[in-house]
Amino acid sequence: MYNQDFFFQALIYLLAAVVSVPLAKKLGLVSVLGYLAAGIIIGPFVLGLVGREATDVMHFAEFGVVLMLFVIGLELEPALLWKMRKSIFGLGGLQVLLTSVVIGAVALAFGFRLNRAVGIGLILALSSTAIVLQTLTEKGLIRNTAGKSAFAVLLFQDIMVVPILAIIPVLAAFNAPGNLDNTQLDKLTGVAALPGWAQLLVIIAAIAGIIFLGRFVSKHIFRFIAETNLHEVFTAMALLLVIGIALAMDAIGLSPALGTFIAGVVLADSEYRHELEATIDPFKGLLLGLFFISVGASINFMLFIEDPLRIIGYVLLLVLLKFLVLLALGRFFRLKKGYEFLFAFLLAQSSEFAFVLISFSRQSQLFEEKTGGLLLLVVTLSMALSPLLLLFNDKAVSPILARWQNKIEFDEVEAQEKPIILAGFGRFGLVVGRLLLANGFKITIIDSNPSNIEVLRKFGFKLYYGDVTRPQVLENAGIANARLLILSMAEYENALEVARYVRKKYPEVEILARAKDIFHAFEFVKLNVKTVQREMFNSGLEMGTKALEYLGFSRYEAYRSARMFKHHEEEVFMELYEHWLEDHSQFVQETRRFSEQLSETLEAEKKVSIYETDCAWDVESIREEAAATLKSK
Amino acid sequence: MNRILVEFAHPAIQKSRINRRLIQAVKELENVTLNDLYEKYPDFFIDVKKEQQLLLEHDIIVWHHPFYWYSAPALLKEWMDLVLVHGWAYGEHGRMLEGKTVLSVISTGGRLEVYSKEGRNRFSIQEFLVPFKQSANLCRMEYLPPFVVHGAHTISDNEISEYAENYKKALTMLRSDAVDRDRLMKAAYFNDLIE
């Protein structure tokens, strides 16, 4: 068959992804690790299903990174970016500078010549945008302080790719002094070949072009296409836009990722933002997956097998150096307590840009083949190590950190006679807590998010940093004779764990729990927690009431309908609960949960037939009787 | 033995001096059910079916409430509007409450003398209670003379205790039908029937 080979390759890659990623997820790992493992398995050193062309696939799949930055740009507002300027240039700038100096110094100590040491330092200073952003999105850390700082650093690194590309040939020239001739310079492409002021002009012109295109032109094009109602044309246009910008950037020697990121930011304000995001997203996901698989497949294990200990040593040394610099910077920039570790672990690997830079360095003869191969291997392994580092942070470092911090903070907990313990003081707990405080109750508030704590302390709230899943924290807060324990935290599994523990050890303590959804609520009811509040139910109901008002209901009619619905829901809830007790002892998968919940709720709603129309103040029967009386007269 | 249902309506029981004591006195009595409406329906969303069922399970209904603006607190009125509906409680086919008995138990700040033609309130308690009496009547129920606590703002703790004790006695009497019919019809207040 025509192109059989291509389809066979596609089959292998897709199969590897479909098998390994869900497996990695089941094991609680980020999908990146699953993709990398899949790549290693299908690669030449295990099954040998894909061979040397994996590198080509990788170059193709690097486009996934470009798409990812476009999507991220779409989600960022320019105002937010402006707010981040300090972290981007301060934190990012210092990270690149310090890390290159440290790694360069170590390379020098290993006997590399100065110019090569500088090159190695610069190349290895970068961190993997693809891995880190994928991780941040998957773990929902993109809005977290550590996540934002990591993102700022990555942005700066993306910008730095351009000057590094320009510097490499210059460094290479020092290998043989006097050899910096025109042939060497000719190899420079685009901006790097121009004098400094012209480079700046071209960059400014390019960025201005993107902004102009995004702001003023794209709107009309998208509208014109959207009016055709042909979705695939819109998809084509979106891809055309991204690929066009990427190629244009490439042509002038700027990083395509940076260009599309700017385009994304410019379009973040446009009315087509969501449509664009939804269109690009699947391409992005697939290409990124492909990219990681090909990275896995292209790891040269021959080099590794020759001297495994040395390679492992290099990888660990690299990660350690980067980690230490990042940790120091995290401290220096006053990241919130505990977050500097997350920040450092997040960025401790090397970048996929290193692949590009290394191959360019080889062409420019900065390194010989062997050094290049070694660097590639180290970079790849450091990337593969990255998910494990985060796992290490989650499982080992942050619990220890939390414990250590608790020791200090918890000395301050005032022993309340019969404390009211409020665990979790975020969007939900804040409302609960404020109501109680407004009514003159003293409450012991425990939260595990240090950034909340600092803000709220400023406003005079008494808060304690702590992880309530740790019995010691609960004991210190006085759980033994607590009047109430309110579990308002968003760490749903932890809340259940706490409820389970308290029910067992202090059965007389009254527990009030915030539930994520109906299934989560069932778990609490099963633990004999009587007051369970589904976090979204009431606000949804309020919104529905408002909607009824706009639809012509009188305000009181709308109110009563909502009340009726709520009471009805309580019966539906119990009906579903009985059902759940019978046949839902096994774990229901997260993704299936919502649709299952929906269909079961609607099913139960049919059965519980109390949802009659409101008969209150109904005068129908009186009118009939009155009419009958009139007639009989 | 008669079963008694106390339909109690007080929106701020934590601020009450008298009704809290009255309720304390009767809530543990056998065959007496306390239905604390404000506790049960803080959102005024009355479960009509449940309330009607409760009525059917009892023989004597007590409307127990402070006397607000010569009437009941809003929730008891809401209860009447929604629970005592046409076709169920009254009307040609509404005979579900037929033969039951109603007693109003009220507390009021004014002393007995202000509830008279010459007094500040110009009408007697019985006159003010006509809507309740006629409501009971329309539902084919017997309406007893009311049990009234006068001077709620000024009476002493001892007097409150006495009222509470009398309230308990009243319900005990009603429970066992130990009320002299003739005296009952002549009495102005149910209080007068208690020795």
CA distances from B34 to A75, B31, B91, B122, B162 (A): 59, 10, 28, 33, 20
Residues of chain B in contact with residue A615, where contact means CB-CB under 8 angstroms, are 48, 85
pLDDT recorded at residue A135: 81
Q: What is the DSSP string of A75-141?
A: HS-HHHHHHTHIIIIIIHHHHHHHHHHHHHHHHHHTT--HHHHHHHHHHHH---HHHHHHHHHHHT-
Chain A nearest-CA residue for B93: A625
CA distances from A193 to A122, A200, A363, A494, A515 (A): 20, 12, 16, 57, 60
Give the gap in angstroms from C-alpha A222 to the nearest C-alpha of chain B.
Answer: 51
Closest CA relative to residue A165, chosen from A135, A193, A200: A193
Contacts B87 to A, Cβ<8 Å = 621
CA distance B113 to chain A (A): 38
Nearest residue of chain A to residue B48 (CA atoms): A616
Q: Say how far apart CA B39 and CA B9 lie, in whole Å.
A: 9
Pairing of strands B101-107, A531-534: unpaired
Residue B71 DSSP one-character state: B
Nearest CA in chain A to B45: A563
Q: Which residues of A touch B89 (CB under 8 A)?
A: none
**Is the CB of A564 less than 8 angstroms away from the CB of B45?**
yes
Q: Chain B residue closest to A560 (CA)?
A: B45
The pair of three-digit structure tokens given for residue B9, joined into one six-digit string: 């309506």
Q: Which of B64, B4, B2, B55 is nearest to B28 (CA)?
A: B4
Tell me: the pLDDT tens digits for A134-183?
788 777 676 677 888 888 898 888 778 767 877 887 888 877 654 444 44
Nearest-CA neighbor of B51 among B30, B79, B29, B23? B79
Q: Please check whether residue B91 touches A, CB under 8 A.
A: yes
Say yes or no for a CB contact (<8 Å) between A616 and B48.
Answer: yes
Report the gap between the CA of A609 and the closest CA in chain B (Å).
14
Q: For residue range B49-106, what is the model confidence (pLDDT) as tens digits? A: 999 999 999 999 999 999 999 999 999 999 999 999 999 999 988 999 999 999 999 9
Amino acid at A357: L
Instruction: Write the residue in B45, B81, B87 that is nearest to A567 by C-beta.
Output: B45
Collapsed DSSP state (helix, strand, coil) of residue B62:
strand
End-to-end CA distance of chain B: 21
CB nearest A621 (choices: B45, B82, B87):
B87
Rounded to whole angstroms, the Cα distance separating B162 from B165 reads 5
Where residue A334 falls (left for φ over 0; alpha for ψ -120 to 50; beta otherwise) is: left
B176 or A368, which is more confident: B176
Which residues on chain B are in Cβ contact (under 8 Å) with A625?
Answer: 86, 91-92
Q: What are phi and psi of B62, to 5 degrees?
A: -110, 125
Partner-chain contact B45 A617, CB within 8 Å: no
**What's the pLDDT score for residue A22?**
84
Residue A266, number of CB atoms within 10 A of its CB: 21
Distance CA A341, CA A344 (A): 5
Residues of B within 8 A of A567 (CB-CB) are 45, 47
Q: How many CB pairs under 8 A join A and B?
A: 23
Tell me the C-alpha distance between B19 and B105, whole Å.
Answer: 10
Task: Supply the Cα-derived Rg of chain B in whole angstroms.
Answer: 16
Instruction: Tell me how close the Cα of B82 comes to any Cα of chain A, in angstroms.
Output: 6
Is B47 in Cβ contact with A563 (below 8 Å)? no
Closest to B134 (Cα-Cα) out of B193, B183, B84, B79: B84
A544: left (phi over 0), alpha (psi -120 to 50) or beta: alpha
Element (H, E) at A178: none
Chain B residues closer than 8 Å to A568 by CB: none
- Which residues of chain A have a CB within 8 Å of the CB of B43? 563
Q: Secondary structure of chain B in the HEC alphabet?
A: CCCEEEEECCCCHHHCCHHHHHHHHHCCCCCEEEEEHHHHCCCCCCCHHHHHHHHHCCCEEEEEEECECCECCHHHHHHHHHHCCECCCECCCCCCCCCCEEEEEEECCCCHHHCCCCCCCCCCHHHHCHHHHHHHHHCCCEECCCEEECCCCCCCHHHHHHHHHHHHHHHHHHHCCCCCHHHHHHCCCHHHHCC
**What CATH number is given for B4-193 in this structure?**
3.40.50.360
Closest CA to A276 of A70, A462, A441, A459: A70
Q: Give residue limits of the domains in chain B.
A: 4-193
Nearest to B86 among A560, A564, A621 (CB): A621
Residues of A in contact with B82 (CB under 8 A): 616-617
Chain B nearest-CA residue for A617: B82
User: What is the sign, positive or negative, of the torsion defined by CA atoms of A46, A50, A53, A57?
Assistant: negative
Q: Are strands A420-423 and A463-465 parallel, antiparallel or unpaired?
A: unpaired
Scanning B110-169 for CB atoms below 8 A from A yields: none
Residues in chain A within 8 Å Cβ distance of B85:
615, 618
DSSP for A259-296 reads HHHHHHHHHTTSTTHHHHHHHHHHHHHHHHHHHHHHHH
Triad A623, A628, A630: Cα angle to 5°? 95
3-class secondary-structure state, position A617 = coil
Which of A560, A398, A429 is closest to A491 using CA atoms? A429
User: Nearest CA to CA, how far is A619 from chain B (Å)?
Assistant: 8
Phi then psi dihedrals of residue A486, to 5 deg: -105, 115
B92 vs A: CB within 8 A: yes
Residue B92 CB partners (closer than 8 Å, separation 6+): A625
Q: Is A560–B82 a contact, with Cβ atoms under 8 angstroms apart? A: no
Contact A617 B81 (CB under 8 A): yes
Residues of chain A contacting B, Cβ within 8 Å: 560, 563-564, 567, 615-619, 621-622, 625
Beta pairing partners, A105: none
Smallest CA-to-CA distance from A144 within A501, A390, A308, A317 is with: A390
Q: Is A369 left (phi over 0), alpha (psi -120 to 50) or beta?
A: alpha
Q: Other C-beta atoms within 10 Å of A338: how many?
A: 21
How close B81 gets to chain A, by Cα (Å)? 7
Determine whether the interchain pair B45/A621 forms a contact, defined as Cβ–Cβ distance below 8 Å.
no
CA distances from A455 to A124, A339, A442, A462 (A): 37, 16, 19, 11
Per the CB < 8 Å rule, is A625 touching B45?
no
The ipTM is: 0.81
Residue B163 has, within 13 A of its CA and on its CB side, a CA count of: 25
Q: Residue A296, Cα to own-chain centre: how many angstroms?
A: 22
d(CA A217, CA A210): 10
- What pLDDT is stored for residue B147 in this prediction? 97
Gap from B19 CA to chain A (nearest CA, Å): 24
Measured between beta carbons, the chain B residues lying within 8 angstroms of A564 are 45
Among the partner-chain residues B43, B82, B91, the one whose CB lies closest to the CB of A616 is B82
Residue A86, token pair as written in the block: 């300090």
CB contact under 8 A, B81 and A567: no
**DSSP conformation class of A625:** H
> Which B positions 34-53 lie with beta carbon below 8 A of chain A?
43, 45, 47-48
Measured between CB atoms, which of A563, A615, A619 is closest to B43? Answer: A563
Token pair, residue A316, equals: 């660990």
**Residue whose entry in the numeric block shows the structure tokens 């009892």:** B58
Check residue A121 and give its pLDDT: 92
pLDDT at A597: 61
Q: What is the pLDDT of residues B92-128, one digit of tens each?
A: 889 999 999 999 999 999 999 999 999 999 999 999 9
Write the pLDDT tens digit of every residue in B179-191: 888 888 889 999 9
* Euclidean distance between CA atoms A289 and A62, whole angstroms: 10
Q: Is the pLDDT of residue B137 over 90?
A: yes
Domains and CATH numbers, chain A: 4-398 (1.20.1530.20), 413-535 (3.40.50.720), 550-612 (no CATH)
**Residues of A whose CB is below 8 A from B45:** 560, 563-564, 567
Counting as low any pLDDT under 70, the low residues of chain A are: 1-3, 28-30, 51-55, 76-77, 140, 142-143, 162, 176-196, 336-338, 402-417, 450-454, 460, 583-615
Residues of A in contact with B91 (CB under 8 A): 621-622, 625
Token reading at A523: 């778990």
Q: In this predicted structure, what is the pLDDT of residue A365?
A: 81
Q: How far is B85 from chain A (nearest CA, A)?
A: 8
pTM above 0.90, yes or no: no
If you measure CA to CA, which chain B residue comes closest to A628? B92
Buried b (16+ CB within 10 A) or exposed e, A453-473: beebeeeebebbbbbbbbeeb
